[in-house]
Amino acid sequence: MQASQTLSKQRLADLVLAAHPLAERDVIAAFVSDAATLFGSNPFSATSAGSARHTWSGQAFEFRVLGMAAAGLTSLLEAVAALPPAEPLVQEILSAGPHRCCVLLDPGRTRVVGAVLYAKPGVPLPDCPPPPIPVPASPSAPSARPRRRARAAALQLDLFA
């Protein structure tokens, strides 16, 4: 197995944690930073959004058919679908035992576009770290969602009157 020439595991884990649209980023970052996880051989790290979309759409189908556990796959598919097909990407591949992780980054390796952690058929994903504790909003802070107005009770037409 060869190590990535430009990115450490800790830096990659930090980038995964900073990727807020990425679902299950805590689980993926914990896997990336684990001591047992190693960078995999990756002779074709340069890819494109269109290629990644094609590859991972097929993988999503296979994962369902084979009953393979995966984290982050839906977010990865949504992220690459939102990009122009020719958008250049770089992929990092990591593995530990029966688990593999693919992280797609921008060409400068400064931002994670998407990531997926998956296991061999019949193998569960690694134990997940506890989710972060949500911080309640202060009463003076504006709500992220506008409040819904209470609807006035609609009058019902009585057809038998």
Q: Of 17-31, 55-69, 89-103, 134-148, give the lowest mean pLDDT range.
A: 134-148
pLDDT tens column, 77-121? 999 999 999 999 999 999 999 999 999 999 999 999 999 999 999
pLDDT bucket at 4, cuts 50 / 70 / 90: very low
Q: Is 57 a residue whose pLDDT tops 90?
A: yes
Percentage of residues in the chain with pLDDT exceeding 70?
Answer: 75
- Rounded to 5°, the CA angle 61-48-84 comes to 95
**Poorest-pLDDT segment among 14-18, 94-98, 149-153:** 149-153
Average pLDDT, the chain: 83
Query: Residue 157: what pLDDT?
Result: 53
Residue 135 — very low, low, confident or very high, per pLDDT cuts 50/70/90? low
C-beta of residue 104 within 8 angstroms of C-beta of residue 47: yes
**Average pLDDT score over residue span 61-72:** 92
Top-ranked range on mean pLDDT: pick from 5-9, 20-24, 77-81, 151-155: 77-81
Least confident of 8-17, 124-133, 143-152: 143-152
Q: What is the pLDDT of residue 20?
A: 86
**Strand stretches in the chain, DSSP E:** 38-39, 46-48, 70-71, 88-96, 99-105, 112-119
Residue 160 in this model has a pLDDT that exceeds 70: no
Q: Specify the pLDDT at position 41.
A: 87
C-alpha distances in angstroms, 76 versus 41, 98, 154, 157?
21, 21, 43, 49
